[in-house]
Amino acid sequence: MISPFAQGFTRKEHWPLEELPELFPGRVRFQVQMKNLTTFRVGGPADALVEPGSVQEVARLIQWCRQHGVPWLPVGRGSNLLVRDGGIRGVVLRMGSAMGDWRAEQKDDLVRVWVQAGCAVSRLLREAVRRGWDGLCFLAGIPGHLGGAVAMNAGTSQGAMEGIVEALQWVDPLGGLVTCQRRDLLFGYRSLQFPEGSVIEEVTLRLRPGHSTEVREALRAQMLRRRAAQPLGAPSAGSIFRNPPGDFAGRFIERAGLKGLTWGGAMVSERHANFILNRGWAKASDVLGLMEHIQMRVAQHSGVHLEPEVRVVGEDG
């Protein structure tokens, strides 16, 4: 389903999607298979996908969607996204490399970096090594774009986005530009509270100056820890369930004897039980079926209800 942040959408047959290529030349595609735009490699087609090239285009697209009653769904690299087999109705607004620039300023013991939401986390880490920025090492091995990392408060036991974000700028559901300082941002476990339907445009990071060699070694050490504990090479969406307070979802799944369990083309990872892998032919329905089975078995075994961490969108096939 499309997120219910807005009401009063018109019927699909009234959506003038054919206007989009003229409004956003070279940035519009129709019937895009979302399985090609998510790390899970599953999902049906989106009616239309637009990749804006500026914050003005983001605002213009949102205003156009509101004017014509067309639902829109902001996405990034799709690293925490499970799209159902029926695909996504309306417009997918994808923040990509066209909005992936950054700039930095260093004063004494502070490095302030302004980064557009479409910047890949991997690119930001390369710049951290090159320039000796300290404070980003917890992001090693986390896929996706920075906007998504902030929206999910991505992190590990070594740190999370809430610890380095100084300010945030987004386009709200009315098409207006909002800037919010860290003291007014409400981060939670793998979450950030801001108006649904908004699109993160720029993040201001507060980092520390360091030495390139030390940053490189810290990133390498974090990456080795991830590779030892997680199945990074197979299509997945990372952790599939949120960790219950004071414990780990993977521990409950493993205790229920579910490692290696298959459901169609989906499988519980043998390496990390809180990862579901696409064996190469999985459908979204396979992943969802396996998720429901895991929830049922864990509840029966330990009395714990696991909440999905992955974002599920779209319609059933």
Give CATH 3.30.465.10 domain extents, the chain.
100-229
State the pTM of this model. 0.90
| pLDDT on residue 197 | 86
| pLDDT on residue 2 | 41
100-229 has which fold? 3.30.465
- Digitized pLDDT (tens) for each residue of the chain, 317 residues in all: 344 344 456 678 789 999 999 999 999 999 999 999 999 999 999 999 999 999 999 999 999 999 999 999 999 889 899 999 999 999 999 998 899 999 999 998 999 999 999 999 999 999 999 999 999 999 998 888 999 999 999 988 889 999 999 999 999 999 999 999 999 999 999 899 988 889 999 999 999 999 999 999 999 998 898 888 888 778 999 999 999 999 999 999 999 999 999 999 999 999 999 999 999 999 999 999 999 999 999 999 999 999 999 999 999 98
Catalytic residue among 27, 84, 190, 297: 190
| pLDDT on residue 75 | 93
| pLDDT on residue 8 | 55
Catalytic residue among 51, 162, 201, 309: 309
| pLDDT on residue 317 | 83
- Looking at domain 12-98, its CATH class is alpha beta
**CATH tag, 249-313:** 3.90.78.10
- 190: annotated active-site residue: yes
C-alpha dist (Å) from residue 55 to 109, 170, 199, 212, 226: 31, 9, 10, 32, 34
pLDDT more than 90, % of the chain: 83
Catalytic residue among 79, 198, 236, 239: 239
Give CATH 3.90.78.10 domain extents, the chain.
249-313
Give CATH 3.30.43.10 domain extents, the chain.
12-98
